[in-house]
Each structure stands twice: as C-alpha cells, then as structure tokens.
C-alpha cells in the first residue's frame, strides 16, 4: 500500500523557536498533501491543503504566518511552526492524496513546546 512518512516523530522545543516537520510520500507522487492537527481524544482538524508548486490553502482560523507550509516536490511537504508557544503543542499529522483513491496518512509528529 501507499506509504507516507513523517519526520521527526516527536520533538521538544523551547518557546519562541521554530520547528520543521517533513512529510514524504515514499512510493507514490502526491500532487496534494494535507496537514492536520489533533488534540487528545478529538478528531482530526484540517489545517491546510498543500498543492505541489503552489501556495497552501489554509482553513479558517489557522494562521498562515505561523504555520508555514511548503510543497516543493511531488513527494515532500514541510510544515514549519514558527515562534512556537506552549499552545502549539499538539499531534501533527500529514496525509498525501493518491489520485482517484484516498488520503494516506503519516504516523504523526508529537510537538511539545516548553
């Protein structure tokens, strides 16, 4: 099946620093990738839709200057949390869309901001 990886799997950082999370589709090309945030015991909340070679589309309420998304190739999208604060601590999950099929999800990245 289609495999999506994320790196790192967990990260701890100090408040005010920036953190980059990578999402890769390992065995297929994904023109579209998605970034989600998940709080404990809650469903996935879509943050943004990322299309290769173009600007990401952010959901209402998501600060695009804080959550920078780059989709430079058909297999790689990155999410950078800029000037992270404790309230940004969460589980971040990416997915890659395989055309005419569905989204395949990465294993997630646990971010803890101290």
Q: Give the DSSP per-residue string, 87-99.
A: GG-EEEEEEEEPT
- State yes or no: residue 42 binds another protein (CB under 8 A): yes
- State yes or no: residue 102 binds another protein (CB under 8 A): yes
- State yes or no: residue 44 binds another protein (CB under 8 A): yes
3-state secondary structure of 45: strand
- State yes or no: residue 78 binds another protein (CB under 8 A): no
> What is the spatial distance between Cα 92 and Cα 37, in angstroms, rounded to a whole number?
5
- State yes or no: residue 51 binds another protein (CB under 8 A): no
Q: Is residue 19 within a helix (H) or strand (E), and if so which, with residue range?
A: strand 19-25
**Residue numbers at the binding site for another protein (CB under 8 A):** 4, 6, 32, 34, 41-44, 46, 49, 91, 93, 95, 97, 100, 102-108, 110
């Amino acid at each position: 099946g289609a495999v999506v990886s994320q790196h790192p799997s967990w990260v701890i950082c100090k408040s005010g620093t920036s953190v980059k999370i990578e999402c890769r589709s390992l065995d297929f090309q994904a023109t579209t990738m998605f970034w989600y945030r998940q709080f404990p015991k809650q469903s996935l909340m879509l943050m943004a839709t990322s299309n290769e070679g173009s600007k990401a589309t952010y959901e209402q309420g998501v600060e695009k200057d804080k959550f920078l998304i780059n989709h430079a190739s058909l297999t790689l999208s990155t999410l950078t949390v800029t000037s992270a604060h404790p309230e940004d601590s969460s589980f971040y999950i990416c997915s890659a869309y395989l055309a005419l099929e569905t989204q395949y999800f990465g294993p997630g990245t646990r971010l803890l901001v101290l």
